[in-house]
Structure 1
Amino acid sequence: MDVSSSNLTRRGLLGGLAGGALLASGALSAPVRAAAAGARDPLPGTADVVVVGGGISGLVTARELARAGRSVVLLDARDRVGGRVLNHTLANGSVIEAGGAFVGPTQDRILALAAELGVPTFKEHVAGDNIFAANGRTMRYQGTVPPDLAIVVDAFVLQLRIDWMAGQVPVDAPWSAPHAAEWDAVTVQEWVRANTFNRDTLTLLQSFLQPTYGSDGEDVSLLFFLWTIACSGNETTPGSFERASSTANGAQDSRFVGGSQLVPLALARQLGAVVQTEAAVRRIAQDDTGVTVTSDRGQVRAGRVVVAAPPPLVTAIDWDPLLPPLRQQLLTRLHLGTLMKVDAVYPSPFWRAAGLSGSGIATSGAVRTCFDNSPADAAVGVLLAFVGGSTWREYGNLPLAQRRTAVLQGFAQLVGPQALDPVEYVEQDWTRERWTKGSPVASAGTGTTTAYGAQIRVPFGRVHWAGTETATYWAGFMDGAVRAGERAAAEVLAQR
């Protein structure tokens, strides 16, 4: 195996360094596989509904339908459930998240679901100072925006404008915003450069864009970005850049004790034999009387289908009849960026004793954003970096040893030289995940939302759509996945 591309892949492999020695740990843990116990049972020949995709959205869809008395089969290509949500067990037995992890205020649906399933949350560590590293110097700060006089005025005014503009974007129909055509015609990069004095302001904004989309400002439409901000609320609370980007009281406010994958694992246990893994869907053919879904483990005939999979996987399915042209165009234009999650593990969260939060932003290097990713009991200290967009392009294909060195240097710049000597090093490169093929959420470039966005939730005959990309609040997050699953199930149940 090429160790430079080793990661937590479909087979659960991990490429990492501990004590200077290269490690590769093999099979998925027993709890992860427990939910896939029925993977080799014969598929039922018929069902009321087939759900394609075993992430949170597909599992919620299946549970809602099963509770309503429908017979359901859920098919997933992986040998596990969770989709873009994945736990990893460290050498000491602590658990961290290799995929989606954070929850926060206004994310009501995922929080309610987790509480029902008995999965508690804990607050992300924020006590202490953050670090901002730019132009060879570092400064300590608290809050969201670093107090760099060269950019602070730009950043303050920009945030006010973003919130004002996002307030004009309907979360369920961004293409209908009063200035939709104008805002969809420019990239975030073009707009920021035209509305700021200091070019470093855009560099600072990349610390939000790269972890969120796995893309830079040049790749994302301004309208799509504003819609993301608008989505960071709920039915009673408007979204804001502060909520979308902050830790305390924001999108990164809390995590799940034991890791976020406990939520889909609990759902799968409730569903039992409904969940069928290692069953990649290759073809979906519908006619006047039903739908035939062909997978690697056989065919299922159903009345309806709900597809809850990332856009590249949807377009890879053989459709009969073909997907409507407008939907096909939408899916091909919703691009998954490039994103890697990297964790360095230490005997303790040493930065806390130095009065640091473990959070930081850098304008260069392999680590542009840093979080304290330690488990709830702080049995070990863990630093997390998102390596996305152009930063991934610079570092993602380096040999593992070189990338590890660059990442650890980035951590050291933000929390001190002790970061250079971890006891364990973990990477999850989602671009190398066969059944994801990119960052945890799709984003849209210029022209896509106004021309094709209205197709996002439109059923295709007997086929309905779930997945976090189809949500109207917290799209791209676990909360959006839950909301999308609930909506898709309600659509199916409304059909005769």
Structure 2
Amino acid sequence: MIIIIGAGLSGLLTAYRLKKEGIPFKILEARTRVGGRINTIYGTGHAPVEMGATWFGNHHKQLIALLDELEINYFEQYMEGRSFFQPYSNAAANAIQIPSQPPNYRIAGGTSKLINTLCQQFDEDELILNQSVKEIRCHKNAVQVIAKAVFEANTVILAIPPKLWANNILFEPQLPSDLMTVARQTHTWMEDSIKVALTYKQPFWQQENRSGAFFSNAGPVTELYDHCNHKRSKYALCGFINDSFKTLTYEKRRASVINQLKTVFGAQAEAFMDYEECIWSKEENTFEASITALYPHQNNGNPIFNEALYSGRLLISSSESASEFPGYMDGAVSSANMTAKKIITSNSA
């Protein structure tokens, strides 16, 4: 039995690979939902909007290969027309020409379509939600995982960000001190981000030859993009808020966002159907405070995460542990592929 801790992209893909090989497993997820930092909100009749991971490029080859394998379509981010930039808070937003660059893509039907497609392959007892792991004990012949229930496994996979398991799980015997130090100093991608999205009845920005893209040095919104669905039949704008605005109340933050968008797009920006936001630093299963400030992607892809522990019975996975594109969806895919390969090879030996 393989126990996978975490039902984000890395954990779910690892399980999917094991399922295809007939290797028994259980996924334990602390949240009441799957997906981790992938979370698409599907409003009734509205465009699906992303509160988490969204974009990828042609260089993210392992993610693209997975989408092709699962027959999931993706499409290019809409960037046609004028974009706008606001240099500081009292300045007007000016039209800018964005230099030609490689395209970014989004998953048709929302990023969670990838998560849901993987989950469709699992039996009910193979994925257990609301199971926050507190201890992992390695005994002579098995590894014991203690959450709301107690589970025994031949191998355990840590498919959550390193800072989370380093600070919240007790290990017996203790893990190497250098590994724990690095893990606690590993930045979790998205943990400082605030995502925001507004859905509309019409893409008024497109009708005015605007791309929907807006950039600001001041905030609250720092980046905003067209977020219509792949058929361009449902309409939205989506982007990021300056993380300093998390100290405001929801009402004040929302009002600040709307006021800013009105100065850029006009009164039509206020005629939204839904306003959604996610402050990732308030997500206890994503955010863990650091003793010292970490820079983006700090220790992501550190080779120390490749070491097997407990004589090979404890493996470290997750996007942050990937050797290629750590912190991104592609990193989660490559980490899962590598981890699953180790287990499949070991089981066939």
Per the normalisation by structure 1, the TM-score is 0.63
Partner of 1:328: 180
The letter of the residue matching 2:39 is L
In 2, Cα distance between equivalents of 1:112 and 1:453: 24
- 1:400 lines up with 2:250 in the alignment: yes
Q: Distance in 2 between matches of 1:60 and 1:460?
A: 21
The answer on 1:319 being equivalent to 2:319 is: no
Confirm or deny that 1:57 pairs with 2:16. no
Question: 1:355 aligned to 2:209?
Answer: yes
Q: Which residue of 98, 106, 110 corresponds with 1:143?
A: 98
The match for 1:374 is 228
Matching residue's letter, 1:375: N
How far did residue 444 of structure 1 move?
A: 4.5
Deviation at 1:416, TM superposition (A): 3.2
- Written as runs of structure 1 = structure 2, the 5 A alignment for 1:45-194 is 47=1, 49-135=2-88, 136-144=91-99
Equivalent residue, structure 2, for 1:364:
218
Q: CA–CA distance in 2 between the matches of 1:50 and 1:66?
A: 13
Aligned-pair CA distance for 1:386: 0.8
Provide the rounded CA distance (Å) in 1 between the counterparts of 2:309 and 2:153.
15
Q: Which amino acid aligns with 1:327?
A: L
SS class of match (2:19):
helix
Q: 1:415 to 1:476 in 2, by over 3 A?
A: farther
Q: Which runs of 4+ in 1 moved over 6 A?
A: none
1:279 paired with 2:234, answer no
What is the SS of the residue equivalent to 1:270?
coil
Does the 8 Å contact 1:430/1:438 carry over to 2?
no
| Alpha carbons of structure 1 residues 361 and 93: separation in structure 2 relative to 1, 3 Å | closer
Match of 1:428 in 2: 278
1:288-303 alignment, distance < 5 Å? 288-296=140-148, 298-303=149-154
Equivalent AA in structure 1 for residue 84 of structure 2: I
CA RMSD of aligned residues (A): 2.4
Of all paired residues, the percent bearing the same amino acid is 25
Give the CA deviation at 1:378: 3.0
Is 2:102 aligned against 1:249? yes
Deviation at 1:58, TM superposition (A): 0.4
What residue is the counterpart of 1:305 in the other structure? 156
What are the within-5 Å matches in structure 2 for residues 20-31 of structure 1? none
Map residues 191-210 of structure 1 onto 2, 5 A cutoff. none
- Offset of 1:299 from its aligned partner? 1.9
Counterpart CA distance in 2 for 1:258 and 1:493 is 32
Gaps of 5+ in 2: none
Secondary structure of the 2:17 match is helix
Cα distance in 1 for partners of 2:40, 2:315 equals 29
- The amino acid that maps onto 1:421 is A
SS of the residue 1:487 aligns to: helix
For residues 233 and 71 of structure 2, the distance between their equivalents in structure 1, rounded to whole angstroms, comes to 22
Q: Tell me which residue corresponds to 1:212.
A: none
Post-superposition shift, 1:93? 4.2
| Distance of 2:69 and 2:342 partners within structure 1 | 23
Aligned partners of 1:269, 1:360: CA distance in 2, in Å?
A: 37
Match of 2:116 in 1: 265
In 2, Cα distance between equivalents of 1:347 and 1:474? 37
> For 1:206-245, what aligned pairs fall within 5 Å after superposition?
none
Per-residue deviation, 1:449:
4.4
Query: In the TM superposition, what whole-angstrom CA distance separates every residue of 1:392-447 from its partner, at most 9, and x where no partner exists?
Result: 12x112111211111122323433342133222111121222321269xxx9549x
Alignment correspondent of 1:456: 305
| 1-structure distance, mates of 2:263, 2:58 | 31
Aligned amino acid, residue 140 of structure 1: A
Structure 1 contact 119–257 (Cα < 8 Å) conserved: yes
* Offset from partner CA, 1:231-289 (integer Å, 9 cap, x none): xxxxxxxxxxxxxxx9x624xx1111211111111111112232222222221111332
Task: Identify the residue that residue 487 of structure 1 maps to in structure 2.
Answer: 338
Amino acid at match of 2:107: F
> What is the distance in 2 between the residues matched to 1:421 and 1:69?
52
Q: String of CA shifts for 1:202-229, please: whole Å, max 9, x gaps.
A: xxxxxxxxxxxxxxxxxxxxxxxxxxxx
| Equivalent AA in structure 2 for residue 285 of structure 1 | R
The range that moved more, 274-283 or 346-355, is 274-283
AA aligned to 1:274 is: E
- Which 10-residue stretch deviates more, 80-89 or 286-295? 286-295
Q: Contact 2:17 / 2:340 at 8 angstroms: preserved in 1?
A: yes
Q: Is the contact made by 2:163 and 2:185 (CA closer than 8 Å) also made in structure 1?
A: no
Moved more, 280-289 or 364-373: 280-289
Question: Residues of 1 paired with 2:9 and 2:272: CA distance?
Answer: 32
Q: Which amino acid aligns with 1:331?
A: A
Q: How many residues align?
A: 335
CA shift in 2, pair 1:266/1:91, >3 Å = closer
Structure 1 residue 324 displacement after superposition: 1.2
Q: Unmatched 5+ residue regions in structure 1?
A: 1-46, 145-245
- 1:456 is paired with a residue whose SS is helix
Cα distance in 2 for residues equivalent to 1:137 and 1:51:
50
Say which SS state the counterpart of residue 265 (structure 1) adopts. helix
- Corresponding residue SS for 2:325: coil
- One-letter amino acid of the structure 2 residue matched with residue 453 of structure 1: N
Greater helix proportion? 1
CA pair 133-347 structure 1, distance change in 2 beyond 3 A: same
Q: Distance in 2 between matches of 1:449 and 1:313?
A: 14
